[in-house]
Amino acid sequence: MTIEFVFEDVVRIYDTDAQGIAHYASYYRFFTNTIEKFMRDKVGIPYPNVSDDLWFVMVETHATYKEPVRLGDNLTITISPSSLSKKTIKFDMKIISKGRLTTQGYVIQVAINPKIWKATEIPDNILKSIVEA
């Protein structure tokens, strides 16, 4: 069973646009903030550039926007990690504000060796830490 990791964030002025709501691409920043903190605090590795031999590169992103969030809104962001293969991890993300699910999405990343820019297996201990974090 995946235990969710929770991150608190806030909608800042540069996240918003002239519709008075958070710009749709800003949500990917909320996702990244959460993933990075999850990786640092729960898995214990830097992210997305783990080492000279291991980077996580993005291969797919998706978000559905159910309700807008606005300047100053407090956000609770949850992350549910899973492995799609020994080389690929998926993070399911939810953003809750004022008790309501406002946004849902996911990002999929593949591990690569940046020296040859080829997919590589995630070391067992790291993969285990991610999916069991």
Name the residues that contact a second copy, by CB under 8 A: 10, 12-14, 16-21, 23-25, 28-29, 32-33, 36, 46-49, 55, 57-65, 68, 70-72, 107, 114, 117
Q: Quick check: 115 and 53 in contact, CB under 8 A?
A: yes
- CA dist list (Å): 78 to 31, 91, 102, 105: 9, 10, 12, 11
State in angstroms the smallest separation of the CB of 1 from a second copy: 28
State in angstroms the smallest separation of the CB of 71 from a second copy: 5
State in angstroms the smallest separation of the CB of 125 from a second copy: 20
* Closer to a second copy by Cβ: residue 17 or 132: 17
* Closer to a second copy by Cβ: residue 71 or 132: 71
What element of type H or E holds 61? strand 54-65
Place of tokens 């806030």: 10
* Closer to a second copy by Cβ: residue 2 or 74: 74
Q: Quick check: 103 and 34 in contact, CB under 8 A?
A: no
